[in-house]
Amino acid sequence: MKIYAISDLHIGYQDNQRALAEITARPNDWLILAGDVGETHAHLKYAFEVLQPKFRQLVWVPGNHELWTMPSDSDTARGEFKYNQLINLCRSFQVLTPEDPYPVVLLGGSKVRIAPLFLLYDYSFRPECVPMERAVDWASEGGGFCSDEFLLHSDPYPGKAAWCTARCEITEQRLESCNDGVPAVLINHFPLLEDLIHLPRMPRFSLWCGTRRTRDWHIRFNACVVVSGHLHMRSTKHYDGVRFEEVSLGYPRQWKGRTTPDLSVREILSPNATCLEHRSASVHPS
Ligand SMILES: [Fe+2]
Ligand SMILES: [Fe+2]
């Protein structure tokens, strides 16, 4: 068994939807979908119908796009209500979500915990001198804009920062309660570390990319790998000895002619992953 990941499939684009069918079946393996599969309930359902028969287990975390309430859509659910609808859809396909217990799997004799997270963002990836109430203006003055401001609602929370705070608090408690030394794969659509964000064309888009609350979670919660998407800038980086994988496919203009969706399915862990041995050994010295 291996664990693979991809994010930002954005199957609202015809090219991406067609390309989804090209993803090779790996019936013994798990596939992590790290958010932004599409913009509608129908997009997510379509992706599950295509991918579920190809993998032993799918794991999904929401991206901002799945949480959008599209003006053209008959589904008018907003915020947490929309999220709960998507969770119900996942359950109908037996897809693991942030609302399920974090499973512990055996890879080559080593245990690893799979932790899908939904943490959102709180506009804290901004300079200290910019107050919260000016954050969106500050970003737009620098050419930064995110459609979430119109399409991603936070109901019943007073704002996305408050929703993010609530998500972080509940998730922190869950991760603390199972922090038993088993290495974890932490999965979140948004990067856990501000240092991972390099957006040369639109640096102030960082505002919509995460929260400073998670800056030490890869250490505190014994991560062996952290998987994220959202940036549409694929990368493998290491911080504090932990591997961070940005696994976006992205919009057609970002991948066509450069890669294929199947090549973009990133291997995250295999049975002989040395990071598991090292991390388990450091936690359980013999
Ligand atoms: Fe995306
Ligand atoms: Fe995103």
Domain that holds residue 252: 3-283
Q: What is the CATH number of the domain that holds 87?
A: 3.60.21.10
pTM equals 0.95
211 Cα–ligand 2 center, Å: 14
- Count CB-CB contacts under 10 A for residue 224: 27
Q: Extract the tokens encoding 173.
A: 């408690």
* pLDDT at residue number 284: 45
* pLDDT at residue number 207: 97
202 Cα–ligand 1 center, Å: 15
* pLDDT at residue number 278: 63
90 Cα–ligand 2 center, Å: 19
243 Cα–ligand 2 center, Å: 20
Based on the structure, what is the number of domains in the chain? 1
Hey, CA dihedral for 134, 199, 229, 271, is it positive or negative? negative
Looking at all shown ligands, the one closest to residue 13's CA atom is 1
Looking at all shown ligands, the one closest to residue 62's CA atom is 2
Mean pLDDT per 10-residue interval, the chain, length 286 residues: 97 94 96 97 97 98 97 89 98 98 95 98 97 96 94 98 98 97 98 95 96 98 98 97 97 91 93 72 44
Q: How far is CA 280 from CA 52, 122, 180, 274, 277, in A?
A: 31, 33, 11, 10, 5
